[in-house]
Structure 1
Amino acid sequence: MNILLTSAGRRTYLVDFFKEALVKYNGKVHAINSHENAPALYHADFYSIAPPISSEQYISFLLEYCKAKAIKIIVPLLDLDLPVLAKAKPLFQTEGIYVLAPSEDIALLANDKYLTYLFLKDKGFDTVQNFLSLESFEEAHKLGKANFPVIIKPRWGMGSLFTYEAENSEELHFFYKKAKRQVINSHLSHESQQDPGQEILIMEKIDGEEYMLDIINDLEGNHKRTVVNKKLTRKLGETEAVVTVADSKLEKLGQEIASFLRHPLVCDVDVIVNAKGSYILEFNPRFSGGYPFSHLAGINLPLALIQWVNGEEVNESTTLIPEIGTHSMKAISMVKVRAMNLTTYN
């Protein structure tokens, strides 16, 4: 069995996790990316350079690559990949290829952070106020219904890219214009064309303890477990250290979210907890940058994915139960590429 990781980027750890899971299946890990400066490519057994996700050639490239390399599972690792691959799932299924992506409507919902906010409100979850324009925030602020500080971020974005904090109106106007200019001139411009002029969100900032939830379902969307990781340190928007904890309230929250999303395998959810409640900020139905913390705590989703796709029984005690109290941290590793002998889609 061979597996393809798309938009592999810097996720060398996921390549290694899948390599380990494939050992007894005599399978190989393939990785693709739209440019060659992606370290994970060089950890994979095989790699190639793909067209951009927004390209009309992208799906045909993937399909031909998978057929030529006997790929049985595609694992997308980037938010922008999810709607494209979710829509194309039937095409791959006819070739016997499993695509790890949620339904297209859930993929679109997760990518659009304003739709995520509206969804959470509609389903009765605690969340943080979001505004689509300077005018709407300023009107709410004037009425005492919104306060500084606020977070300015792309509506269709990932990680902390083009994200800023504003303490007052002057900073808000400056960073709003800056973020908007950056989005329009970046790879996020394609997604932002869905609603021109409303590419930026203004989100109230709240205080509290920060958590990441890995909500684990089987491939039919049935909830299996929610892993709760408490964030200990963050730098430039990225979590660097966590401790895996037992928290019945957050585990129940994960189960409730899973009942609505019905996502396959894993969904990452950011939550802030304070005396007033547990506030959901956003969710991403894919392997996220937070998954390695759960993996180090004993979760093995690459193996579970392979076994479920194969129709095998998954031993939940060894793959889906975390070791509570695990303290894990991210480190920086280097990748040396001796020769850039790349295969491209041209």
Structure 2
Amino acid sequence: MTTNKNVLILSAGRRVELVQDFQAEAAKFSDGIKVLATDLNPRMSPACHVADGAFSVPPISAENYIDSIFDLALEQNIGLIIPTIDTELQKLADARRRFEEAGIHIIVSDSELVTICRDKRFTASLFNHCDIDTPEIYERENLTFPCFAKPYDGSRSIGAKYIHTAEDLSYDMLKDPKIIFCQYIDITNEFTEFTVDLYYDRSGRLKCAVPRERLEVRTGEVSKGATRRNGLYTLLIDKMSHLEGARGCITAQFFCKGSTVYGIEINPRFGGGFPLTYAAGGNYPGWLMREYLYGEKIPFFDEWENNLIMLRYDAKVLVRDK
């Protein structure tokens, strides 16, 4: 149990629903837990306006980024820090023990696992270690068409491209060391795309898994989705029941067709579609507070609502000149 009780959500940006989910759970405790947020420019962040308090921090690339988060956490009695974007994970994972010694829990996986998840070549090996297939990665001197090109450290489909024939290849693409070429999986006509929110306790034990079918995606983030209790769920409960170094919410992507499952990527953080998992009963915010702020053990949970559909839309936050 820690004496620091407030929650800090980093790089909050547009994650309004995530902030609200944490606020809803914080209100169930009697300690007056506040949910605070950071951003490069809090005034222009909708989530920062919804939070109980918001603070400006340096860019993640700045040398003093970790020091600024650490000082802020001490000043604001932060007990729980929630990362939200890929580019901050490695720095936070490397600094996690420093925060732990001050009674501050960063919900980030171990450095080794973050390194694996940030590189899709290593991620494929991790899936294979769990006995889950992955699309073949081709040598660029021996490509098979059609194929799919993407940066090995990319996210949100940025830089990803379908390559139909050799004529679609560019010189820059072939010479870019960050681009990998993979077996093409047809998710338009054959395969179905799923994102799964997995909750791992501090021992790396799986406590909940909620598959979300991606019915519609906009700029790499799900805009329409539905929870599905299916063969993928059964597979993951078996194959990924323990993940060394995992901690908190892990978001994994899969392509499925019948009994055929391909693991695509793992993001060791909350995904943009997590509010659907929370609405279905996957109470990851509450479990994190109970586990890290109050020292409770989290039991395995599988009573989440099946076939719950989420239809997202844009909403506004008005900021008046004071």
Give TM-score, length-normalised by structure 1.
0.82
2:269 equivalent to 1:271: no
8 Å Cα contact 1:152-1:175 kept in structure 2: no
Matched residues in 2 for 1:323 and 1:128: separation?
A: 30
Q: Which aligned runs of 4 or more in structure 1 are off by greater than 4 angstroms?
A: 313-317
Q: Secondary structure at the match of 1:230?
A: strand
Change (3 A) 1:124 1:316: closer
Match of 2:210 in 1: 227
What SS does structure 1 have at the residue aligned with 2:290?
A: helix
Q: Is 1:334 the counterpart of 2:316 in the alignment?
A: yes
How do 1:252-291 and structure 2 match up within 5 A?
252-275=235-258, 277-291=260-274
Deviation per CA, 1:15-65: give whole Å up to 9, x if none.
111111111331111111223433222111111121121221011101110
> What's the CA shift for 1:130?
2.6
**Match in the other structure for 1:193:** none
Q: Which residue of 1 aligns with 2:142?
A: 140
CA distance in structure 1 between the aligned counterparts of 2:238 and 2:62, rounded to whole angstroms: 36
Q: Partner of 1:129 in structure 2?
A: 136
Classify 1:175/1:214 alpha carbon distance in 2 versus 1 (closer, same or farther; 3 Å): farther
Between Structure 1 and Structure 2, the one with more helix by share is 1
Equivalent runs, 1:77-226 vs 2, <5 Å? 77-131=84-138, 136-137=139-140, 139-141=141-143, 146-148=144-146, 150-173=147-170, 176=173, 197-207=176-186, 208-226=191-209
CA 1:313 to 1:106, structure 2 compared with 1: closer, same or farther past 3 Å?
closer
TM-score, normalised via structure 2 length: 0.88
Which residue of 34, 37, 40 maps to 1:34?
A: 40
The whole-number CA distance in structure 2 between the counterparts of 1:305 and 1:157 is 27
RMSD: 2.3
Secondary structure of the 2:71 match is: helix
Q: 1:245 to 1:265 in 2, by over 3 A?
A: same
- Could you say if the C-alpha distance between residues 321 and 172 of structure 1 is closer, same or farther in structure 2, counting changes exceeding 3 Å? farther
Question: Does the 8 Å contact 1:113/1:156 carry over to 2?
Answer: yes
* Change over 3 Å in CA distance of 1:321–1:262 after alignment to 2: farther
The AA in structure 1 aligned to 2:168 is E
Determine which of 10, 17, 21 is the counterpart of 2:21: 17
Distance of aligned partners of 1:174 and 1:250 in 2 relative to their CA distance in 1, 3 Å threshold: farther
Shift of 1:119: 3.0
Q: Name the SS of the counterpart of 2:242 in structure 1.
A: helix
Give the whole-Å Cα distance in 2 for the aligned partners of 1:225 and 1:62.
Answer: 29
Q: Indicate the residue corresponding to 2:55 in structure 1.
A: 48
Gaps of 5+ in 1: 181-196, 342-346
Deviations 1:54-86 (A, max 9, x none): 221011101110111111111111111111111
Instruction: Give CA-to-partner distance per residue, 1:297-346, whole Å, 9 cap, x none.
Output: 121111111011112365766xx63111211122211222224x8xxxxx
Gap change, CA 1:72 and 1:332, over 3 Å in 2: same
| SS of corresponding position for 2:233 | helix
Q: d(CA) in 2 for partners of 1:335 and 1:203? A: 41
Q: Indicate conservation of the 8 Å contact 1:130/1:202, yes or no.
A: yes
State the Cα distance separating 1:166 from its structure 2 match.
2.4
Identity %: 26
- Tell me: CA distance 1:210–1:338, structure 2 relative to 1, closer, same or farther (3 Å): same
